[in-house]
A and B are shown apart, each in its own frame.
Chain A
C-alpha cells in the first residue's frame, strides 16, 4: 500500500516560503505545489482569480498521462512540461518523484529564467519532502481520526 501524505506546520511554512521566493526570483504570476494525486499542497502569488482545486486536479491528470507516455517510451518520466499561451504560460515539473511544481508566468518573465529558478528550488523542495516523508514514517503518529466515532461520521451527513 502506498504511504500516506501528511503535512505539518513547519514543512508547510517552508514549502510556502520556497514558492514565494521562486515567484519573486522568476518574476512569475503564481506558483503551486501539488501532490501527484491532485491535492493542492501550497501556493503563492496571484492565485485569487484561479480555481486552484481544478488546476491541481487537471495538472495531476496531465502528469499522470505524461508518466504513462514515458513508460510506453521506456523513459522513467518526462519531468518537465511547458504550455505556451497567448498571454500566460505554464511550466510544470515533477519534484522528488512525488509532487508537482507549477509556475504560471507571462511576458514579464521568460522560459529560460523560470527553468533556471525552478531547478534551484526543486532541490530545496526535494529536501523538504524527503524530510517530511521520513518524519511521517518515523513518527508512526496515530491518525487524528483514530478517535472519531460513528456518530462523528454520521453528523457529516445529517445536514
Chain B
C-alpha cells in the first residue's frame, strides 16, 4: 500500500522480493545497494542468521527522483525463502505494492520454485491481495550455472500469468536493474490508475 504524503511531497512504495530459499533475493538487493549512488540509497539492513540466511527480512530504501514534484521512494524488502519461515513471509507482504518473484533456474530447484510461487499466491490472498492483479515481475536467476533449465520450461511452469520475465545472474548484476525498473514501472502505472 503506497503512502502519499502531500505534506512532504513524497510517495513511498513497497516492493517485495519473493522466492525459494537460496534463489538470490538478498543478492539482488546487495547488487542494487552496491551500484546505487550514496545519495539515492539508505542503509541496507539484513536480519540474517549467523550463516547469512535471511531470518526475517532485508531492507533497502531507494530514492528514484521526482515525478510531478513528488519524491519517489521505493522500499525494497526480501522475505526469508526457507519453507519454515512462512509466518515471517506473511508479515512482510503486508502493504506490498509490487512483487519480484525470483526463481532459481537450476533444474533441481524447479519444484521449490513452484512451491514458493504457490505460497506467494496463498499468502497474498491472506492479505486480501490477488496475485492476478498485483504488479508482479518474474526473474529467472542463476542463468550462468550449467544446470540452468531452459527458459521456455521456466516460463511454462511459472509464468502462467504472462507477466514480464527477466533472465538474471544476480551475482554479476546481469538482469538485476532491468527487473527492478520493470516492477517499479508497474507499481507507478498502478498508482496512475489510482485504484489502490
Chain A residues in 8 Å Cβ range of B192: 143, 145-148
A12-B7 in contact (CB<8A)? yes
- Which residue in chain B gives the minimum CB-CB distance to A142? B194
The CA of A13 and the CA of B2, in the complex, are separated in Å by 21
Partner of B194, one of A1, A36, A143: A143
Of the candidate stretches A61-69, A75-83, A104-112, A115-123, the one touching chain B is A61-69
Of the candidate stretches B26-34, B87-95, B143-151, B163-171, the one touching chain A is B87-95
Partner of A1, one of B7, B129, B189: B129
Does residue A86 face the partner (Cβ distance < 8 Å to B)? no
B64-A156 in contact (CB<8A)? yes
A156-B3 in contact (CB<8A)? no
Does residue B38 face the partner (Cβ distance < 8 Å to A)? no
Does residue B59 face the partner (Cβ distance < 8 Å to A)? yes
Partner of B68, one of A2, A145, A157, A159: A145
Of the candidate stretches B39-47, B114-122, B154-162, the one touching chain A is B39-47
B7-A57 in contact (CB<8A)? no
Chain B residues in 8 Å Cβ range of A13: 7
The CA of A121 and the CA of B89, in the complex, are separated in Å by 33
Q: Which of A6, A157, A159 has the most CB of B within 10 A?
A: A157
B45-A54 in contact (CB<8A)? yes
Does residue B83 face the partner (Cβ distance < 8 Å to A)? no
Digitize B37-72: 1 where CB-to-A-CB distance is under 8 Å, 0 elsewhere.
000001101010000000011010100110110101
Distance in angstroms from B84 CB to nearest chain A CB is 14
Does residue A39 face the partner (Cβ distance < 8 Å to B)? yes
Does residue B25 face the partner (Cβ distance < 8 Å to A)? no
Within 8 A of B (CB), among A1-23: 1-9, 11-13
B194-A7 in contact (CB<8A)? no
A57-B189 in contact (CB<8A)? no
The CA of A68 and the CA of B1, in the complex, are separated in Å by 19
Chain B residues in 8 Å Cβ range of A48: none
Given contacts A6-B6, A146-B192, A156-B188, list 12 more A-B pairs with CB under 8 A. A1-B128, A2-B127, A7-B7, A12-B5, A57-B61, A65-B88, A142-B194, A143-B4, A143-B191, A143-B192, A148-B67, A156-B64
